[in-house]
């Protein structure tokens, strides 16, 4: 981007608008939306200030101001966008050495559910007709490892009910999350419901989103039943329905993203599922990701520790020789030479 002459006299509001307009060509719409969300509180605080008079004390004042409203992580993310704007107009270098992000407490990514909690959540979700779509979306996420951001971005062409499987192309956070996921029986049944609804509200093109958008609030006419579906735009969220479901189930701490956490936790907890299969299904699970997503339940940990107190199921043969090859342990009969 070519710096306009006299860029230092721009207000933050003017600079942010120019920066975002110029950079939309390089980023995904979802990323642009995140930037817009971050710029709203920044614009309210810095909007009329000229870039060249913004000092580190103003940045620290913003940290204090936002800390009373949001988490330190959110404040840091907003100031990350602030830095991008200031860098674009050569105003960040003078602040960089004195800037410190707020301390963020380490946390695990979400909550896994016990078997009883998962069943209760599903039972409540299917108990009312108005929650039926959200219920089926939950089942799909819990049986595929998709997050809602990935599910809502599925187009009809991404769903193959013959194989059956879904291909995640949009909504993934990075290229490693682009993947094809088979549908088990539960996921297939719920996907059939979603596709049937999609056809009933006018879906016809392979390019249409299976969870299309419908305007609300100020965008919508008074009689909501007459609002047409925007089939070439994905829905924004299902937070309202999910909040009602989790509160009715007595699980207020559960987030919609925890459906993905639950699926990954169950994959990583199963001895029948190889780490490679888990990675391919969920999309890159490094050791750090295992620590982040595999939130083992108390009963799982207890069962694992109970094995330490149990006697060996078979006596150990002191004459046997063992050698590790390719990640496998191969046992040789006593007296046989190692290969």
Would you give the DSSP letter of residue 209? B
Which secondary-structure segment (H or E) carries 301? helix 298-309
Whether 256 and 242 have beta carbons less than 8 Å apart is answered as yes
Q: Do the domain assignments include residue 16?
A: yes
Residue-averaged pLDDT of the chain: 83
Q: pLDDT tens for residues 183-233?
A: 999 999 999 999 999 999 999 999 999 999 987 654 444 544 567 899 999
210 and 65 within one domain: no
- Sign (positive or negative) of CA dihedral 92, 96, 98, 101: positive
Question: Hey, which of 30-39, 159-168, 171-180, 292-301 has the most confident mean pLDDT?
Answer: 159-168
Find the domain containing 44 and state its range: 7-96
Closest CA to 155 of 233, 259, 269: 233
Residue for token digits 């699980």? 251
Please check whether residues 143 and 199 belong to one and the same domain: yes
* The predicted structure's pLDDT at residue 13: 96
Q: With bands split at pLDDT 50, 70 and 90, how would you rate the model's confidence at 8?
A: low
Cα separation values, 119 from 124, 192, 196, 246, 265, Å: 9, 21, 25, 12, 16
Q: Which residue has the higher pLDDT, 325 or 261?
A: 261
Q: Total structural domains in the chain?
A: 2
> What's the whole-number mean pLDDT along residues 260-288?
80
* Domain shared by 142 and 76, yes or no: no
Q: Is 62 within 8 Å of 46 (Cβ atoms)?
A: yes
Q: Same domain for 71 and 180?
A: no
Whole-number Cα distances in Å, 109 to 106, 136, 263, 277, 287: 10, 23, 13, 21, 14
pTM > 0.85: no
Rg of the Cα atoms in the chain: 26
Assess if residue 324 is contained within a domain.
no
Cis peptide before 164 (omega within 30 of 0): yes
Domain check: are 46 and 130 in the same one?
Answer: no
Region 20-32: mean pLDDT is: 88
Q: Give 49's contacts (C-beta < 8 A, 6+ positions apart).
A: 11, 12, 58
Cα dist from 163 to 158, 180, 277, whole Å: 12, 11, 18
222 and 266 fall within a common domain: yes
Helix 72-88 to helix 56-67 angle, to the nearest 10 degrees?
150
Are residues 120 and 91 both part of a single domain?
no
**Residue 316 maps to a domain:** no
We report the CATH number of the domain holding residue 31 as: 1.10.150.130
């Amino acid at each position: 981007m070519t710096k306009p002459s006299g860029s230092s006299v721009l207000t933050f509001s003017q600079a942010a608008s120019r920066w975002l307009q110029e950079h939309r060509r390089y980023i995904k719409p979802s990323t642009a939306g995140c930037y817009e969300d971050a710029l709203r509180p920044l614009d309210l605080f810095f909007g009329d200030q000229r870039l060249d008079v913004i000092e580190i004390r103003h940045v620290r004042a913003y940290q204090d101001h936002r800390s009373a409203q949001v988490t330190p992580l959110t404040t840091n993310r907003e100031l990350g966008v602030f830095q991008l704007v200031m860098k674009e107009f050569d105003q960040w270098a003078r602040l960089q050495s004195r800037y410190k992000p707020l301390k963020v407490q380490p946390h695990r990514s979400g909550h896994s559910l016990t078997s009883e909690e998962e069943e209760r959540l599903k039972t409540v979700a299917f108990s009312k007709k108005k929650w039926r779509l959200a219920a089926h979306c939950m089942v799909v996420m819990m049986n595929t490892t998709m997050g809602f951001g990935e599910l809502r971005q599925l187009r009809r062409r991404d769903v193959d009910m013959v194989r059956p499987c879904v291909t995640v192309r949009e909504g993934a956070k990075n290229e490693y999350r682009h993947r094809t996921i088979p549908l088990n029986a539960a996921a297939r049944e719920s996907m059939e419901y979603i596709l049937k609804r999609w056809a009933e509200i006018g879906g016809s093109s392979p390019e249409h989103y299976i969870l299309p958008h419908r305007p609300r609030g100020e965008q919508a006419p008074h009689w909501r039943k007459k609002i047409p579906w925007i089939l070439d735009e994905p829905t924004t969220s299902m937070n309202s329905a999910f909040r009602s479901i989790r509160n009715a189930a007595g699980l207020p701490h559960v987030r919609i993203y925890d459906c993905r956490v639950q699926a990954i936790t169950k994959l990583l907890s199963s001895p029948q599922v190889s780490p490679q299969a888990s990675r391919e299904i969920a999309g890159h699970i490094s050791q750090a990701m295992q620590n982040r997503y595999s939130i083992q339940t108390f009963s799982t940990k207890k069962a694992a520790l109970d094995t330490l107190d149990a006697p060996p199921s078979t006596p150990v043969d002191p004459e046997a020789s063992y050698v590790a090859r390719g990640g496998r342990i191969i046992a040789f009969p006593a007296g046989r030479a190692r290969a």
